[in-house]
Structure 1
């Protein structure tokens, strides 16, 4: 289906073809909209391990009529969130009530979800026109006034609206902050590094652990805390995989991590040394992982703005956060929904003033909420990240409600304006 290339076509350039960028390409599909996604990689394989869409995000993607596509991504619904100590004592067991929140918490292999979102963005069966994805398109510059995007090979793209979904090392964030004469914000080490492991659950049948303490067939996320280290575990791919993240203060690491890759190899002997005082059954699970990835966790402080002219940044470019809340991908989905909501009444190309007003509304609807979740994610990683961040007083159960009862950007903004 070809777009009528008239002056009435609303041209949207999305920089970044990750979860945030593809979700936004889906959300903004519509008549007389040309959506171009610029992705620096060749998209041969989206690396990574597991990620969750919390109920606040899962109900959004379900509203996009992606049920069949998402089912091919083999999501696993999680029914509980459990916190244990290293002795096996259960400190908290929160039921994830899908009816209460409007959707289940779903866990995906990152590669599976990315492939599903890419399929939806390119689909000719969904409403609106499919997006175009340009790969090997490394963006090196952005002029927020002219909305011109420059690639490393000199190619220039120009759009009516520029959306920066280019991650924690965002080029568009730098352009937005410079345009507003703000000090640049760079990703900062949090003092925490993380191991990622994936284990086939068929290898865990003989695991020596009380099933009341841990059962790999239970549809639950399990957090084990002790000695200022933690392990977060949960099932994926219909229970065929168990994903684990081990978070460790840098001073207790026995090997070096890197901020630039999810796939820097970790070493089993070093991992076991780091977790030497955790239960043997956890260490036995570690031994079943064919590969161990290690990376240094970084985030950014809340920014003074996400917008300049007709440019807006979203996702990790705007509010990169630690994985302690499992909300990183979910907040990107919320950003996409906000853009969809505030551009929903445009059936043709909005004028410049209309575009500016709408992205201002997106910022107003998203900034406070995303910044609070960002702050709580940092606080949950203390003491390693105790660097004067905003103090959040909600307990985990209260924050779960805050996160998951979200009903979209328009309603949230109305509630904030009324309070």
Structure 2
């Protein structure tokens, strides 16, 4: 019986969760990661209830997530520039959605997922993770992935979790991501440093409290929260491009470096009790937020795109990583029971046939993309059709998700 050979291009959250979801009898899974160290940068990442439910319940990784020092986000707190709390929005996620919104240091989450993908103690064969393996092309119909060093790897299923190279093998032309008019600085500060060096800030906003805190002023937005059970404090600072003191168009990648002195100039109108904390971040990232319309297709032949490769979205709903996890769950659900290499016809039917992976995922993810764009207005207001849901209704839409097959049945019933 020929094994089901699966090659996953990309060793980030999307690629590793796809490997976890697809593990099973007689399956050979190879994850190709272009970096040599397979390390994630320092930043906070959130898993919304729709995703934390999948990882903890469907994949049985609740204890592992706890070991990654997750924070349960209890809600949102909004402060004015005097440090006065003006609104609290509790997030009763477990009561309403059956799971919590979890905050992680990105590296900790990545390590948990990597271990689950390659562990010999889970069902199916462990995935093989190959680092320093840059994918430069593929033959989607023949099922061949080409690496930079000339190696060619055959696969029955190719999963594009890194879309820069593989999108062109699905689409007629590469889509162009357009600037939204906003950029984002990214900071990560040890909480002990804040408590020792910035008592005024800590007296107003306790960096160990399990809440996402926001300050909105001067057309800028600070979104802040704890990670590693209060050990670190993460900040994302959203800034209009026309207020930047450095060139946002040169910062396409979210791992680009920012300039602290220029950031301080940008936030000069903010009170010093806020801006003084910026200098304590060991690293400062800056990336221009770019928007991408929904792709017309995600798959061709034996290749399917997932995660940001298929549906890059703005961070305003915090659903980017969570939607990648939903994609992975869908792959596992629709290939469940496949224990030998599927024929080309059977595989492409699973990818594209009505009621299967693409049709199940496309409408939902495209709507979440649209709402994420809408939530970032006016920067992204290009006359797009509005999503006619109130925020609480859309929160329900996001978080009451219970897996791809159940979702498809509910949509057909409606």
TM-score interval, smaller chain: over 0.9
Q: Offset of 1:342 from its aligned partner?
A: 0.8
Give how far 1:17 is off. 0.8
In structure 2, the residue matched to 1:38 is 32
Provide TM-score, normalisation by structure 2: 0.93
- Quote the RMSD (CA, aligned, Å): 1.9
Match of 1:186 in 2: 176
Q: Is 2:84 the partner of 1:93?
A: no
2:253 to 258, 261, 266: 261
1:409 aligned onto 2:404: yes
- For residue 133 of structure 1, give the secondary structure of its aligned residue in structure 2: strand
Q: Is the 8 A contact 1:194 1:245 kept in 2?
A: yes
Q: 2:124 matched to 1:128?
A: yes
Select the residue among 343, 348, 353 that pairs with 2:340: 348
Deviations 1:254-273 (A, max 9, x none): 11244443343322232222
Kept after mapping to 1: 8 A contact 2:77/2:85: no
Partner of 1:111: 107
Normalising by the residue count of structure 1, what TM-score does the alignment of the two structures yield? Answer: 0.91
- SS of residue matched to 2:221: strand
Contact 2:135 2:165 in 1 (8 A): yes
| Native 8 Å contact 2:160 2:305 kept in 1 | yes
Which one of 324, 336, 343 corresponds to residue 332 of structure 1?
324
Determine helix, strand or coil for the equivalent of 2:229: coil
Could you tell me how far apart the structure 1 residues matched to 2:384 and 2:150 are? 40
Query: 1:224 corresponds to which residue?
Result: 215
CA contact (8 A) 2:51 2:326 kept: yes
Change (3 A) 1:378 1:100: same
Tell which deviates more after alignment, 223-232 or 192-201.
223-232
Q: What are the within-5 Å matches in structure 2 for residues 154-169 of structure 1?
A: 154-167=150-163
Give the one of 363, 366, 377 matched to 2:361.
Answer: 366
| Bigger Cα displacement from structure 2, 68-77 vs 91-100 | 91-100
Please give the residue correspondences for 1:15-54 in structure 2 after superposition, counting only pairs within 5 Å.
15-54=9-48
Q: 1:202 aligns with which of 153, 172, 192?
A: 192
Q: Deviations over 1:140-167 (max 9, x none)?
A: 1122211211112221112111111004
The Cα shift of 1:122 comes to 0.5
Contact 1:84 1:92 in 2 (8 A): no
User: For the Cα contact (< 8 Å) 1:31–1:129, is it kept in 2?
Assistant: yes
The reply to whether residue 176 of structure 1 matches residue 170 of structure 2 is yes
Aligned residues: 406
Counterpart contact for 2:11–2:32, Cα < 8 Å: yes
Structure 2 segments unaligned to the other structure (5+ residues): none
Separation of aligned partners in 2, 1:70 and 1:16: 21
Using the TM superposition, give the Cα deviation of residue 53 of structure 1 relative to its aligned residue in structure 2, in angstroms: 0.7
- Name the residue aligned to 1:3: none
Contact kept, 8 Å, 1:166 with 1:317, in 2: the verdict is yes
Q: How far did residue 215 of structure 1 move?
A: 2.5
Task: Extract unaligned runs of 5+ from structure 1.
Answer: 1-5
In the TM superposition, what whole-angstrom CA distance separates every residue of 1:275-334 from its partner, at most 9, and x where no partner exists?
223343321322332322112222321011111122110000000111111111111000
Tell me, in whole angstroms, the C-alpha distance in 1 between the residues paired with 2:368 and 2:99.
Answer: 19
Q: Say yes or no: does 1:77 pair with 2:86.
A: no
Deviation at 1:357, TM superposition (A): 2.0
CA separation in 2, counterparts of 1:309 and 1:290?
A: 45
Greater shift in the superposed pair: 232-241 or 37-46: 37-46
Task: Answer 1 or 2: which has greater helix percent.
Answer: 2
Deviations 1:56-80 (A, max 9, x none): 1011111212233323321111111
Which residue matches 2:312? 320
Distance 1:377 1:279, change over 3 A: farther
